[in-house]
Amino acid sequence: MPQYAVDEIEKMPDSPVAREDLGAGASRGAGARSPLFWKVLLLSVAVIWGYSFTTMKDALDTIPVFELLYVRFLPASLVMFAIFHKRIIAHFNARNLIVGLGMGALMWGAYGFQTIGLAQTTAGKSAFLTGTYCILVPFASYFLSGEKLTRYNLGAALLCLAGIGLVALDSVEFNTGDVITLGGAIFFAIQMAVTAKYGRKMDINVITFWMFVGNGVLSLVSSLLFETQAPASVWTPSFAAVMAFLSVGCTCVALLIQNVGLAHVPASTGSLLLSMESPSGVLFSVLLMGEALTSRLLAGFALIFLSIILSETHFDFLRRKPRPQL
């Protein structure tokens, strides 16, 4: 049934997409960037999110979960429409609506589970459990797109997860918030796999806009049904600035870069780079908040660095045979 739905979406008509906006492959235009360019951008997204982790935790002390989400995503969708309205209007059809709103529903589930879980667990455990999507994405992409599973990307994901555990995990006890957060990681993995599949053939800016709309509307409805809205008094200039950073910087800019990047690199590689979010958060804590740089943190960073080397090189440089002497 899922494969039938995927095939039907593939057959739906759509307006032509500019060649430079297509994903990797022979159809890419001359203006397309190299894969390295997109990998660097994905890594920069992880750094932005790492910086924002404590900001999210503080914002949750002020407004409830789904109010935080719709305040993030609805303004971000307005910014996207202001920038890409010509493309959005040109590609206003069932295919883009289904894919974009479907991605929005997946992201609503991911952020909803993650944010609800974050309210019931520590920031370190939330970062670790969310980072488990780097293990799940290769499997999701295999079932959705037929992306090849290799021992290298699976090994790199396991190394990365071990490193994140050393960096971020502060205890091994599980509570309800941890289980909820793990559910969010599953939604993140599926959403990344869907983005990687359709972003290579469709206008990624358009489906990202509809993703923001879908997530924002679902969050608004959830908030109105199940939450008490925060009083107007909480909207001080400083808190409004924090929410503007989350909405524009961490949502509009960072998620658009994530989606475009996932359209140009393998999903397994993209998820590995994005999982640098949690170690980035810890690194900012060391640099800006005076947290001690322990041997455990250094070991975790070393494992994460090794995971990226394994993913990118397969350690081929260790197996190269020396040239015969003349």
Residue 69 lies in a domain: yes
pLDDT at 84: 94
Residue 23 lies in a domain: no
How far apart CA 162 and CA 309 sit, in angstroms, is 15
Indicate the pTM of the whole model: 0.81
Residue 71 lies in a domain: yes
Residue 220 lies in a domain: yes
pLDDT at 1: 45
pLDDT at 146: 82
At 292, phi and psi to the nearest 5? -70, 140
Helix (H) or strand (E) holding 45: helix 35-60
Residue 267 lies in a domain: yes
Residue 2 lies in a domain: no
Residue 14 lies in a domain: no
Residue 25 lies in a domain: no
Domain that holds residue 54: 33-314
How far apart CA 261 and CA 253 sit, in angstroms, is 12
Question: Structural domain tally of the chain?
Answer: 1
How far apart CA 177 and CA 122 sit, in angstroms, is 9
**Per-residue pLDDT of the chain in tens (326 residues, 90 and over written 9):** 455 555 556 556 555 555 555 555 443 443 456 778 888 899 899 888 877 777 777 788 899 989 999 999 999 999 999 999 999 999 999 999 999 999 999 999 998 898 788 778 776 777 778 888 888 888 888 888 888 878 887 888 888 888 888 877 777 677 888 889 889 989 999 999 999 888 888 899 999 999 999 999 999 999 999 999 999 999 999 999 999 999 998 899 999 999 988 888 888 888 888 888 777 877 777 777 666 778 887 888 888 888 878 877 776 656 665 555 55
